[in-house]
């Protein structure tokens, strides 16, 4: 009986969360539009930054892994690296803006009621725009290096969905954690750097053997980034085991993060 009561309460929370997001969808749109305009309002390059940063990093790593320490990836290295950096920068950018999304909107958090999930979700949606802009360069690189996509690109929406779900889940956790513990935003910068090199962003983790390789493969971002390369560049479907693991992790993490975020909302105002 107690378990049924708990399940009923859980389902009531889920219904409330979903209905709130639907009811406040116009506010989400306006917040995303506001954040997008603010991000590039006083920058010279504007949306060019979404292209510039992955290109610079690609150039740096291309020099390292083609001239100094040659690396065989089975693809032209600039295409391999840019694809990984583009996908990684989408998540990293979302995390960086989400971590401060609640603490930088104190007036709205404390005075007006609406689902606070809108702040970190808005940060993710703004990064989606950057991701779309940066994708144009990947198309150009593929054309230059004569890397043609195959029918497997039809699986790209599934990869995007898993990536979006995982990024949103982590963004919710970071936003909530930084509200309660303000040093999270400083620790995050260290973690995000280590996390990048523990993911197959600029090199295949298959090159690493032993126990470390097993640990790195548990990182959900690795199969997600590998899946992008598989369906866009290589012409094969993602590995069902590793990508399935990432999909399950993303789904479970989003459910837990969203529920925890929703239940902690009443404490946000007193912790601002």
Of 48, 101, 65, 72, nearest in space to 197 by CA: 65
pLDDT per residue as tens digits for the range 171-221? 999 999 988 888 888 899 899 989 998 898 988 887 777 777 777 778 999
pLDDT per residue as tens digits for the range 44-95? 566 677 777 888 888 888 888 888 877 888 899 999 999 999 999 999 999 9
User: What's the pLDDT at 102?
Assistant: 83
Residues in CB range of 224: below 8 A, 6 or more apart: 87, 159, 162, 163, 166, 243, 246
Q: Which of 65-69, 138-142, 189-193, 255-259 has the lowest mean pLDDT?
A: 65-69
Mean pLDDT for the chain? Answer: 84
Q: What is the pTM of this model?
A: 0.88
Using DSSP, how many helices (H) and how many strands (E) does the chain show? 12, 0
């Amino acid at each position: 009986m107690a378990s049924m009561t708990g399940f009923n309460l859980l389902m009531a929370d889920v219904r409330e969360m979903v209905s709130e997001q639907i009811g406040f969808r116009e506010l989400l749109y306006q917040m995303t539009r506001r954040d997008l305009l603010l991000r590039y309002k006083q920058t010279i390059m504007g949306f060019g930054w979404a292209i510039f940063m992955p290109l610079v990093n690609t150039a740096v790593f291309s020099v390292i892994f083609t001239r100094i320490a040659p690396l065989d990836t089975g693809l032209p290295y600039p295409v391999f690296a840019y694809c990984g950096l583009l996908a990684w920068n989408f998540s990293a950018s979302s995390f960086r803006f989400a971590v401060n999304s609640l603490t930088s909107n104190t007036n709205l958090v404390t005075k007006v009621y609406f689902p606070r999930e809108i702040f970190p979700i808005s940060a993710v949606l703004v990064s989606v725009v950057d991701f779309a802009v940066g994708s144009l360069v990947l198309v150009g690189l593929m054309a230059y290096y004569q890397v043609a996509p195959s029918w497997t690109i039809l699986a790209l929406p599934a990869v995007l969905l898993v990536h979006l779900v995982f990024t949103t889940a982590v963004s919710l956790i970071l936003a909530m954690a930084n509200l309660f513990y303000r040093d999270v935003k400083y620790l995050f910068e260290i973690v995000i750097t280590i996390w990048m090199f523990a993911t197959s962003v600029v090199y295949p983790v298959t090159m690493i053997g032993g126990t470390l390789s097993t640990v790195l493969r548990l990182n959900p971002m690795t199969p997600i980034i590998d899946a992008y390369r598989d369906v866009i560049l290589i012409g094969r479907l993602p590995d069902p085991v590793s990508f399935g693991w990432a999909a399950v992790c993303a789904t479970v993490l989003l459910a837990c993060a969203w529920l925890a975020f929703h239940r902690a909302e009443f404490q946000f105002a007193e912790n601002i």
